[in-house]
Structures are given as C-alpha cells and as structure tokens.
Amino acid sequence: MATIFQGVGAATAFSASNSFDSQKLHLPSRRSLSERKASIFVVRSDARVNQARNGGARRAESLISTAVATKPDSSAASTSSKPGHELLLFEALREGLEEEMDRDPSVCVMGEDVGHYGGSYKVTKDLAQKYGDLRVLDTPIAENSFTGMGIGAAMTGLRPVVEGMNMGFLLLAFNQISNNCGMLHYTSGGQFKIPIVIRGPGGVGRQLGAEHSQRLESYFQSIPGIQMVACSTPYNAKGLMKAAIRSENPVILFEHVLLYNLKERIPDEEYVLSLEEAEMVRPGEHVTILTYSRMRYHVMQAAKTLVNRGYDPEVIDIRSLKPFDLYTIGNSVKKTHRVLIVEECMRTGGIGASLTAAINENFNDYLDAPVVCLSSQDVPTPYASTLEDWTVVQPAQIVTAVEQLCQ
C-alpha cells in the first residue's frame, strides 16, 4: 500500500525526455471525487447521455459523460436523423460476429460461459441457440487449454473467435499466444495459417481490483506475427470484429469494460473496417493528440476545454495498435508539429512508448517540441475508487499537457 501511495503522489505523467513541469499536472481533488452522485450512464458516442439515478450503483463515470467534440465533425454529429439502427457497443460486437457466422460456416466461438449464458458481457447472447453447441463452445476454466485448442482449430481451416472472460486471464495462455499463435505460420514455412481472433474485456473498470484491471496490449505488442486493434465506438467495434474474423492473421481485439454500454447509430448495410487504419476523430491545427479505447473520451472532454481556451487540437484514435498507421499519424505530425499521446496502458513498455519511438524515428524533423506521453502510473490498480482515478490519466492533465506543449 505504501508503494501505491508513493506512485499515486508522484504524478509522473510526462516522459523523462521532455522539459515540462510535471508538478503542474493537477489531479482531481479528493472533494470533487467524493461528491460524485451514484448514477448509471448510457453514453452515446455522439456525446448524448442517458442518466438514471441508482443508489446502489458504485459511482458515476463523470469523466466520460461530458466527452464531446467541440469542433463539428462527422464522428460527433447528431445521429438522430441518420439511417441505420442504434446499438450498444456489446450489441454491435455481437451483430458483427453473428453476421460472420451466417456468412462463413467455418467461424466458431469458444470460451468460458460463451454458450447458453451468452458471455460475461453478453457479446454471444443467443448464439448457442442459433448455431448449436459445437459452433458456440462452452469451455472449462482453462485459458491455456481452450486458447491452444482454438489455435489448433485455426490450423485445420476453421476461424475460431476465442473469448477471454477478462483479458487478465489470458496471461495463463501467454505461451500459446506467443509461441504458437504468432509464430506457427513462420515456423511451418507457410504451411499453416492461423486465422484466429482473441478478444475480451480489459482496462480499468470501476473498482475491479488490480488483477481485473489489466491492460495487456503492452504484453502482446512484442509478439511477432500478431495484429492488435482496439475498438472505441459501436461503429468501429462491429467493423473491426468483422475484419478480424476475415483476416488470415491472428488478431487480438481489445475491448474496454467501461465502453460496452456506449450507444451509437450504425449503418444497416454491411461494412468492414481496415485493421491497419487510424480514425480522424477531430481535425485541428495546433497539436496532434493520439489515443485509443476509453481514453478517446477523456481526450474529447479535454478538447472542449482546450477549444474554449483558444487551442485547436487534432484528435486521432489510432485503433490499430500493431502495426501503427504511420501514414495518418505522419500527415498529422507534419501539419501540427506537436504530439501528445494519451493512453490507459502502463507507462513502462506501453503502446505510448512504442509510438513515441516510431514518431521520433520517422518524423523527428517535423517536430517543434519533444513528444509527450501521458500514461497510467506504474502501480497495481488500487481498489479504492479515489486512488483508482489517480492512477489513470484525467482530462485536466491532458489540458495542462497541451498548454505546456504549445508554449
């Protein structure tokens, strides 16, 4: 516990390579955190919030509720008049998975409670009744076994979707993912393809404790042969799910536990997104902010304040964690000449560290200031809600970082 307090109090939000004053990064006060009302939010990706009072709710996620884009753009436009249908993010994942199972009989699902229970977050709800127990296979609590079984099934021509009930549990299958999933295509001399999708919830939730708040993208990014993507809206969740299933490569799809109830109107027509493209969330001129997953909404909340103070940030959801879309990122860097990376991943060896290195190697001549990276602190995620918030990047820190970066 002493280690946690020491790490939380340090406010180590900036990388050591820059000259900014990290002491100016003000964390939320204890008073402001304790005064939160207990509520349940259904957050729309167009920034509209449905709120219901609930005295039994753990606490409101106020950081996301006002996450809006100040500058008009397609991602923030009202969806009420658009054609299509509204879905929550977990429903969009399910719809994408169901469409692919209808299209291709080789697609199957396996994992703990994915069958008649419908998955821990209902992504596979009712699929067992529709496709049967062989295509939607409930497994024992043995991640190493059923992940290995999924890899073997992919070698024989199936397209398995393996669900980890929580991303932290997939550490038990790290050997299968690293030594088999990522390498078999190469070590077999191209005789085998491994078209497998490994997906599940992760990230810092609401008082889930350290073991259930893992961000494993930093663990998996170094494995050769694996692609990684992170969804952040119902639209890209469905499109990335379909693309991952159709890919001939093993793909890890990261879903954030706090985004499953995000609502958005998506097209009725079929669509598939690229696994290697970033999304321009908000065009701007003064600074490039690169982010992904839940931090997209913290950044957009900060963007509202920044615009009111005269700044024009460009926000990019990188989506593809491996490989990076250096074309989109590079064009933005050449325009703004300043880069801020905001991630929920851990500071040491995280996605932000790899992205910083890639930008410095490829676009150093276009930078007018060092790349700044805001990451979660290198401490186990505390259970206490106040401490939990202090370990993760908050919108106020993003505002301060941009102000210092643009000086």
pLDDT of 45: 45
Q: Letter for the amino acid at 41?
A: F
The answer to whether residues 388 and 381 touch, using CB atoms and an 8 Å cutoff, is yes
Domain containing residue 175:
77-266
In a shared domain, residues 297 and 241 = no
Distance, CA of 245 to CA of 199 (rounded, Å): 11
In a shared domain, residues 216 and 115 = yes
The answer to whether residues 63 and 55 touch, using CB atoms and an 8 Å cutoff, is no
Domain boundary among 266, 300, 315: 266
Let me know if residue 1 belongs to a domain.
no
Q: Are strands 279-282 and 313-317 parallel, antiparallel or unpaired?
A: antiparallel
Which CATH number does the domain housing residue 174 bear? 3.40.50.970
In a shared domain, residues 364 and 227 = no
Let me know if residue 55 belongs to a domain.
no
Let me know if residue 62 belongs to a domain.
no
In a shared domain, residues 289 and 242 = no
In a shared domain, residues 88 and 225 = yes
Which CATH number does the domain housing residue 352 bear? 3.40.50.920
In a shared domain, residues 291 and 203 = no
Let me know if residue 208 belongs to a domain.
yes
In a shared domain, residues 88 and 176 = yes
In a shared domain, residues 261 and 281 = no
In a shared domain, residues 208 and 321 = no
Q: What is the CA radius of gyration of the chain?
A: 21
In a shared domain, residues 183 and 307 = no
- Is residue 143 part of the annotated active site? The answer reads yes
Domain boundary among 243, 266, 289: 266
- Using a cut of 0.95, tell me whether the model's pTM lies above it: no
Distance, CA of 160 to CA of 30 (rounded, Å): 46
pLDDT of 344: 92
In tens digits, what is the pLDDT along the chain, a chain of 407 residues?
333 333 333 333 333 333 333 333 333 333 333 333 333 334 444 444 444 333 333 333 333 333 333 344 444 444 456 789 999 999 999 999 999 999 999 999 999 999 999 988 899 999 999 999 999 999 999 999 999 999 999 999 999 999 998 888 899 999 999 999 999 999 999 999 999 999 999 888 888 877 777 888 988 999 999 999 999 999 999 999 999 999 999 999 999 999 999 999 999 999 999 999 999 999 999 999 999 999 999 999 999 999 999 999 999 999 999 999 999 999 999 999 999 999 998 888 899 999 999 999 999 999 999 999 999 888 888 888 888 888 899 999 999 999 999 98
The tally of domains found in the chain comes to 2
Distance, CA of 352 to CA of 179 (rounded, Å): 25
Distance, CA of 377 to CA of 204 (rounded, Å): 12
Domain boundary among 235, 266, 297: 266
In a shared domain, residues 314 and 391 = yes
Among 91, 95, 143, 343, the active-site one is 143
In a shared domain, residues 227 and 320 = no
Among 185, 212, 256, 298, the active-site one is 212
Residue among 228, 288, 232, 279 nearest 252 (CA): 228
Let me know if residue 318 belongs to a domain.
yes
Q: Letter for the amino acid at 206?
A: R
Let me know if residue 58 belongs to a domain.
no
Let me know if residue 54 belongs to a domain.
no
